Amino acid sequence: MLKPLPVGIQTFSDLIRGGFLYVDKTPWIYELIRYSKGAYFLARPRRFGKSLLISTLGEIFEGNRELFQGLWLYDSDYSWTIHPVIRLDFSRYSIRSVEDLSAALQRAVQQTAERYGVTIEPGRYEFQFEDLVRRLAERGQVVILVDEYDKPILDNITDLPTARQIRESLKGFYTSIKSLDAYLRLVFLTGISKFSKVGVFSGLNNLNDISMNANFGALVGITEAELRSSFHDHIAEFARAQKTDSDDILAQMQHWYNGFRFAAHSERVYNPFSLLLAFYQQRFSNFWFESGTPTFLIDLIRDRGYDVRQLGNLRVEEFSFSTYELENLDLEPLLFQTGYLTIKTYDEKSRIYTLSYPNYEVENAFLHYLLRAHSEISLALTTSTLWRLAEALRANDLERFFELLDVFFANIPYDIQLRHEHYYQTVFYLIFKLIGLRVEAEARTSRGRIDAVVALEKAVYLFEFKVDGSEEEALAQIVERDYYRRYAGQERPLVLVGVNFSTQSRSVTAWRTA
């Protein structure tokens, strides 16, 4: 009989007592708790198992060994000493002000005090928290578990003054944790983003950031070996439902959901949220992306005019991952921490990371949202128009192709007054990526760069764009600079295409081939 899948279950005791499938992460957890003291921070994308990890740690430190029977930790040399546990879960609260934050923290402190039968004096939450820790420490060193530490900041990231105030308030709270070090056994914080040590964690300078530590690269997420062993029966059941074999299901799983790498030398892991839903519904879809739209990130990319064509092969220096600040949001580390890009390679000598999309689910969905942000067109119309565009180009029907292309350019918002070629090139690039055609943006030649090269089975198209210019000018540039020579000598014919966009009409006004 198949073990039920723990879709949406983030409480370890519910998962175990309900007989749900659990991938044994206790060997990695042991490395966190084997020493007598520790303070750790782990950044991972949303829906990646952080809350279940926090819940598991809580059960361990509360001494509930019976829940771990059959798991690696049960028979290990871990002592199972009981410790008081304070859990702070910011995902439970909607915090829009410093007052909301204070109320949430005060409520969490009071609930913990009631759970342990401790009486604390009324007052500010900082003082109540310190009082609670000291009183609980009479029973043993205290464990503090904080889930989604950064949610109060990220929820207000478009309101910078409020986000700053909340950050400063959190900084004070974490400073108080540092002052209580003598009473503490373990401090463990999770979140999505990593604010620099001069920000939120300036007061908690003993925190060990394990986010990019290869030893903890698979602390959350599902490895290939874990997928094949723990989900063996579910893979076979999925294959029967799809009328295929297990190897095909595994190959599709890799294509859709594998690829997340959080350290230079760690193994790749699957997104557990998408993996569970794919097995549960026995189909492949954009489950993780649909659970939360990255509106803020998409708007930031569009408003800054960021070159999205770089995202598939983005080079980032190592120090970039430690300079995350509210006042200066760098897109590269933000995209990595939120899971939209992941580590592809790392060069030891230059200490440069190459980032890329982790898998098909993330790339396809992210590009769709980017296209809709650059051209305000509905998702349904986007999908149908993209399909027809691909068919027109494969049929070499450029007349029809450019008619359909105008659907996207006509929907560029009036308030975006961008008269440079980059904006239109971006829309063009996104369209071609989404219709599944091989597109090389700004391809280098010995005489310069051509705007786009699209390789089809029967032809290779070389596109050059002008904005408020002429199609003759665009075509002449391809010829005069010998852009086409790099692609000469192929069996497939070359089609040179000069295109002019009008910012006034927001359309392709003319195009010409040679």
pLDDT in tens, 89-112: 999 999 999 999 999 999 999 999
Least confident of 26-35, 162-171, 268-277, 288-297: 288-297
Kindly report each contact of residues 489-495 with a partner whose C-beta sits within 8 Å and lies 24 or more positions away, as own/partner: 490/460, 492/455, 492/456, 492/457, 492/458, 492/459, 492/460, 493/458, 493/459, 493/460, 494/459, 494/460, 494/462, 495/396, 495/459, 495/460, 495/461, 495/462
* pLDDT tens digit sequence for 213-268: 999 999 999 999 999 999 999 999 999 999 999 999 999 999 999 999 999 999 99
Match domain 379-513 to its CATH number in 3.30.460, 3.40.1350, 3.30.9, 3.40.190.
Answer: 3.40.1350
Confidence label for 183 from pLDDT (cuts 50, 70 and 90): very high
Beta strands in 263-375 (DSSP E): 314-317, 342-347, 352-356
Residue range 445-467: average pLDDT?
Answer: 77
Q: Which residues, 6 or more positions from 237, have their beta carbon under 8 angstroms from its beta carbon?
A: 2, 282
pLDDT at 449 over 70: no
pLDDT digits (tens, 9 = 90+) for 473-512: 998 888 887 766 777 777 788 889 999 988 888 788 999 9
Residue of 327 and 241 predicted with greater confidence: 241
- Taking the C-alpha atoms of residue 284 and residue 278, their distance in angstroms, rounded to an integer, is 6
Q: Quick one: pLDDT band at residue 387, thresholds 50, 70, 90?
A: confident
Mean pLDDT score, 435-462 = 71
Please determine, for residue 131, whether its predicted confidence score (pLDDT) is greater than 90: yes
* Order of all β-strands in the sheet with 184-191: 85-89, 142-147, 184-191, 38-43, 208-209
Among residues 23, 43, 12, the alpha carbon closest in space to that of 270 is found at: 23
- Tell me which residue of 105, 107, 109, 63 sits closest to 84, measured CA to CA: 63
- What does the pLDDT average to over 50-65? 98
Strand 448-455 with 352-356, pairing: unpaired
Q: Order of strands across the sheet with 342-347?
A: 314-317, 352-356, 342-347
Torsion angles phi and psi, residue 261, rounded to 5:
-130, 125
**C-alpha to C-alpha distances, 428 to 31, 263, 340, 374, nearest whole angstrom:** 49, 33, 21, 10
pLDDT at site 229:
97
Res. 446 pLDDT band, cuts 50 70 90: very low
pLDDT of residue 273: 97
Q: What is the mean pLDDT of the chain?
A: 89
Write out pLDDT tens, residues 11-27.
Answer: 999 999 999 999 999 99
Same-fold call for 12-216 versus 379-513: no
Taking residues 349-357, what's their average pLDDT? 96
- H, E, C per residue of 133-175: HHHHHHHCCEEEEEECCCHHHHCCCCCHHHHHHHHHHHHHHHH
Q: Which CATH class is domain 12-216?
A: alpha beta
Average pLDDT over residues 331-351: 94
Give bridge partners of residue 450 from the DSSP assignment. Answer: 443
Q: What is the pLDDT of residue 413?
A: 65
Closest-CA residue to 271 (of 226, 335, 321): 226
Domain limits, the chain:
12-216, 224-290, 295-360, 379-513
* Residue 444 pLDDT: 53
Winning range, highest mean pLDDT, from 176-180, 319-323, 421-425: 176-180
The pLDDT-based confidence of 293 (bands split at 50, 70, 90) is confident
The tokens describing 180, both together, are 């209580």
Is the pLDDT score of 443 beyond 70?
Answer: no
Polymer length in residues for the chain: 514
